[in-house]
Structure 1
Amino acid sequence: MDYSRDDIDGLLNDQFRDVAQAKEVYDGPNEDVKKYYNLVKEAMPKLNIPPSYNKTKCMVKNLGLDYEKIDACPNDCMLFRNDHKDDEFVILAELHTQKVMCSKTTDSLRWHDKERSKDGKLRHPADGQAWKDFDRLHPDFALDSRNVRLGLASDGFNPFRAMSISHSTWPVMLMAYNLPPWMCMKSEYSILSLLIVGPRSPGYDIDIYLQPLIDELKLLWDTGVETYDASRNQTFQMRAALMWTINDFPAYAMLSGWSIKGKLACPYCNYNTNSHYLKHSQKMCYMDHRVFLPMYHPWRSNKRSLNGKTECSPPPPLIKGTDVLNSLQDFEKVFGKKRKRSNDGPLKKRSIFCELPYWQHNLLCHNIDVMHIEKNIVDSILGTLLDILSKTKDHAKARYDLKEMRIRKNLHPKDTGDNKRTKLAKACLSMANGEKSVFCGVLKTAKLPDDCASNISRCVKLDERKLSGYKTHDAHFMLHYLLPIPIKSVLPDHVAIALICLCSFFQRLCQKVITLEELDCLEVEIREIINQLKRIYPPSFFYIMIHFPIHLANEVRLGGPVQNRWMYSTER
């Protein structure tokens, strides 16, 4: 019996018409699937395919592409696995584990040791201080260059965002950093290790779902797994270690346990974070960056333009992993949405990664994602310069904060005679409507090379003199290349210079190849840039995302180029 391609496509469309039917097919043997196999076999007799759905499932499983479905308690307090596998429960979430090994990439696993240029420049995570320190502490692991160094990235999204459905899906991806930099962040070399699905974000209880992954990482560190090396025609015991995690800041808090809110929100400055609560704006600001300047820098004694005080404190020391672990020795592990947690201090839990025997000695455990920092900075700059409602940082409440702090008296709000209106003086960063039109016009008419960014001109609203709807990579491109042009055209020199220097800092920070000397210069420059911005922008501008650039140069020194430690590849 002969079948055309249209007949086969028609049958496939009937079988997988909706999601519920597709799920039923994959959940077990199905008569419709058997009919499909028979149909394909009759149409192409010489095609070598398994005779049934079960045979296909067994074949895929033997290839190492199987997954395990683990049920979770609705309260997010435990997984039903091991001794609790047969307990009664309500199915809420699925956690898929996938193990993938490709024999064709075994040569590339040794690239970081055999082919990497070792001239002192940072091109790869192996050039960073964290990798070198790991090799020094664990020489037995570093002895075989095929042992895999991993990075973990995770973020949540709603797959039904076009519908009014509350849902949160959290894929947990692993990247192999042994590979060359042009391979290690590609999707085909990333491993989907976990898929956490449910009606809401797991929050701090994400550790419950990470247990199977941590168990496998312990096994890969202690004994490894027997692996076949096709390039050498031999088997070896392959081990693996997790170097760090990559997340946006909310996910950073979930995985590390460090609270991203409150006066100690910076995990680098930790307990020495300089913060101030703005009474009128009702938010925390982090604007005392003079502690990072040299001790005899003239800005340390500048009271009038900054916070009204002289600064004599040294920069806060970096907290060590061993110190964090020691402080959490008596920390009670509490999981579940209905249970109370201690709110004392910024640490809200003892992270499950601390169970890895080498984790406390890693120099860089959790990366601050540069991609989201750039997006937040561009939002704040554009929102304030164009005075976009709900995005500007220079508003009436911010002026009252200046009055409360007794700084920049020329910008203090002044009450009119009728006591009904408040007069706000024009700030140096304020633009007239004509200047805003020029600013937006430059971005509207910019001609961009193909595939470097989306059509940014669509995001520019000339009539309303604002930008909206641009994506994260658009913000990256504008910060690096576009914004300095209109900024130089319409803003006063002292404002334009500070903002252009900020754009230049991120452009040089994100280089694919960078030297330690350049990082030292960038570290000095960003400290002065942030303090210069403090003399221009109101305190409400300096929320935690404006503070983080202070620490980004040191992260590159520890972990290597930014391209291997941001969320672009994972989110795509």
Structure 2
Amino acid sequence: MSLLIQGPKQPGNDIDVYLQPLVDELMELWSTGIHVYDAYKKEYFQLRAMLFCTINDFPAYGNLSGYSTKGKKACPICEENTHSIWLTNCKKPAFMGHRRELAETHPYRKKSDLFDGLLLNIPGKTKDGIKVRRDMELMNIRPELQPKDIDGRTTKFLPPDCYTMSKVEKTKFWQCLHGIKVPSGYSANIRKLVSMKDLKLLGMKSHDCHVLMTQMIPIAIRGILPNRIRHTITKLCLFFNMIHSKVIDPDVLDEYQRDIILTLCELEMYFPPSFFDVMVHLVSHIVGEIKACGPVFFLRYMYPFERYMCILKGYVRNLNRPEGSIVEGYASEEVIEFCTNYMDGFKSFRIPQSRHEGRLSGQGILGRKTGYSNVVDYQEAHFNVLQHITSIDLFIQEHMSLLRQQNRKKSAKWLAKQHKKTFSEWLKDKVRRTLPNIDKWSKLWDSPLNIVPISRI
């Protein structure tokens, strides 16, 4: 850590004061550089460096860059060209109108009534309420969803939309997530995060949300929502799954961009305007960032840093001075690791050992397991290896034709069973008769995996 945050509060918009020493060093590295010795060439050279990118969430981006990430011009890429509308009752802007990025000949261009025309309805989390419905009424869109009066009551009736789940559908959705099991280290145990009583998720981290979005939601909503809603949500999940690949073909990025714009337009057709905050709009710029900075997986992933922040928070022993505790714990760990590496062959003292320790070198972690195979398993393994060697195909055909000639009245099932039972011994005898000097290879027949000399034959 470059500096220690003084005081109990975060610096907020004063982060520039906190980062000023780092900014000075970056300016020096960019303008004049520093004199560095090259041990390989045995000469000095002027080292220069530049800041490639920063990794942060959207609110922190506003603090670092000074750009206002709130209001009707909240998009830092569109800036003055940001398209937004003000929702009077919700009292916030909605970032819609992604049809303008479609091709001029696209049919959605002419269907303005469908656009200028949530799922789980969790209390406190839903984007669909009386204020949203009143905004729809002011915008003169979706008259079938506008609030309706109830005789003898002051409350309004809100007609259910196509994206709203019934109680039975929500129960099926949560039961599916509750039954999912993932490998160790893949994500958190989703089963422990699902509350079947309240039908909602509790205590999820950002990486768990990412796994839920890209892998689990498309499975959990199958057979629940209408086809057009389910397909749109699935396409959005697949988009996030594709852009987080380790390798991305640059030729398909334009296709990804067209697909995500079309998906956003379809979301505008089905979901209320309050759903489209600036975070939804920023999805349309992800492909452009990949073109400029490369795949997200390598240099711009937030999850490794967030996981490491969990480790740093574990160093806190004095709650009145959390930053100082982190610095002291980090420094202590560095010293212990240096001493451990210096004394090679000694086990670490009071440092927990990773459950994955030794896996790359082939060492097991669950204890030794000894298995014994019988003769039948051995012969079956030997036979399966022989069947997958290309140079043995002619011998297989010859043996099968010989069995058919000798057993004309037998069924195909019996011939296949007999072929599996006698092929190995028949091949041994044939090779020995054909090549008298094959005895020197006789030991190779003891293992079903040592078949290389036969392929040479």
TM (normalized to structure 2)? 0.65
Q: Is residue 566 from structure 1 mapped to residue 301 from structure 2 by the alignment? A: yes
Would the aligned equivalents of 1:194 and 1:213 in 2 still touch at CA under 8 Å? no
In structure 1, the partner of 2:69 is 260
Q: CA deviation at 1:233?
A: 4.3
1:257 and 1:307 map into 2 onto residues whose CA distance is 33
In structure 1, the partner of 2:233 is 499
2:112 and 2:18 map into 1 onto residues whose CA distance is 50
Where in structure 2 are the equivalents of 1:244-393 lying within 5 Å?
244-308=53-117, 384-393=118-127
Q: Which has the higher contact order (CA 8 A, sep 6+)?
A: 1
Q: Give structure 1 stretches of 5+ with no counterpart.
A: 1-191, 309-383
Aligned residue identity for 1:280: N
211-220 or 526-535, larger mean C-alpha shift: 211-220
Aligned residue identity for 2:221: I
Q: CA deviation at 1:199?
A: 3.0
Would the aligned equivalents of 2:84 and 2:94 in 1 still touch at CA under 8 Å? yes
1:566 and 1:213 map into 2 onto residues whose CA distance is 22
Q: CA deviation at 1:230?
A: 3.8
Q: 1:230 to 1:285 in 2, by over 3 A?
A: same
**SS of the residue aligned with 1:228?**
strand
In structure 2, the partner of 1:532 is 266
Q: Is residue 437 from structure 1 mapped to residue 171 from structure 2 by the alignment? A: yes
Percentage identity across aligned positions?
Answer: 43
Aligned residue identity for 1:558: A
Deviations 1:448-487 (A, max 9, x none): 1221001111111112222221111110111111000111
Q: CA deviation at 1:232?
A: 4.2
Q: CA deviation at 1:551?
A: 0.2
Aligned residue identity for 2:108: W
Would the aligned equivalents of 2:181 and 2:189 in 1 still touch at CA under 8 Å? no
Would the aligned equivalents of 1:410 and 1:425 in 2 still touch at CA under 8 Å? yes
Structure with the larger helix share: 2
Q: CA deviation at 1:558?
A: 0.2
Q: Is residue 236 from structure 1 mapped to residue 68 from structure 2 by the alignment? A: no
Q: Is residue 218 from structure 1 mapped to residue 30 from structure 2 by the alignment? A: no
Aligned residue identity for 1:266: C
Aligned residue identity for 2:36: T
In structure 2, the partner of 1:555 is 289
2:243 and 2:3 map into 1 onto residues whose CA distance is 32
In structure 1, the partner of 2:8 is 199
Would the aligned equivalents of 1:228 and 1:235 in 2 still touch at CA under 8 Å? yes
Q: CA deviation at 1:269?
A: 0.9
**SS of the residue aligned with 1:193?**
coil
449, 456, 468: which one pairs with 2:202? 468
**SS of the residue aligned with 2:50?**
strand
Would the aligned equivalents of 2:87 and 2:94 in 1 still touch at CA under 8 Å? yes
Q: CA deviation at 1:570?
A: 2.4
2:275 and 2:42 map into 1 onto residues whose CA distance is 59
425, 440, 445: which one pairs with 2:159? 425
Q: CA deviation at 1:205?
A: 2.4
Q: Give structure 2 stretches of 5+ with no counterpart.
A: 309-457
2:24 and 2:142 map into 1 onto residues whose CA distance is 56
In structure 2, the partner of 1:413 is 147
Would the aligned equivalents of 1:411 and 1:427 in 2 still touch at CA under 8 Å? yes
In structure 2, the partner of 1:511 is 245
Would the aligned equivalents of 1:220 and 1:240 in 2 still touch at CA under 8 Å? yes
Q: Is residue 394 from structure 1 mapped to residue 135 from structure 2 by the alignment? A: no
1:209 and 1:466 map into 2 onto residues whose CA distance is 39
2:294 and 2:4 map into 1 onto residues whose CA distance is 28
Would the aligned equivalents of 2:181 and 2:191 in 1 still touch at CA under 8 Å? no
Q: 1:570 to 1:230 in 2, by over 3 A?
A: farther
2:135 and 2:268 map into 1 onto residues whose CA distance is 14
1:518 and 1:196 map into 2 onto residues whose CA distance is 44
Deviations 1:386-406 (A, max 9, x none): 211110111221111111111
Deviations 1:284-317 (A, max 9, x none): 1101111111122221222222114xxxxxxxxx
Where in structure 2 are the equivalents of 1:115-130 lying within 5 Å?
none
Aligned residue identity for 2:73: L
Would the aligned equivalents of 1:289 and 1:531 in 2 still touch at CA under 8 Å? yes
446, 451, 455: which one pairs with 2:189? 455
Q: CA deviation at 1:419?
A: 4.7
Aligned residue identity for 2:156: T
TM (normalized to structure 1)? 0.52
214, 217, 231: which one pairs with 1:483? 217
**SS of the residue aligned with 1:528?**
helix
Would the aligned equivalents of 1:228 and 1:236 in 2 still touch at CA under 8 Å? yes
Q: CA deviation at 1:548?
A: 0.6
Higher radius of gyration, 1 or 2:
2
Q: CA deviation at 1:231?
A: 4.3
RMSD, matched Cα: 1.5
**SS of the residue aligned with 1:434?**
helix
Q: 1:194 to 1:240 in 2, by over 3 A?
A: farther
Aligned residue identity for 2:141: I
Aligned residue identity for 2:134: Y
1:297 and 1:195 map into 2 onto residues whose CA distance is 55
Would the aligned equivalents of 2:147 and 2:157 in 1 still touch at CA under 8 Å? yes
| Count of residues paired in the alignment | 306
In structure 1, the partner of 2:320 is none
Q: CA deviation at 1:544?
A: 0.8
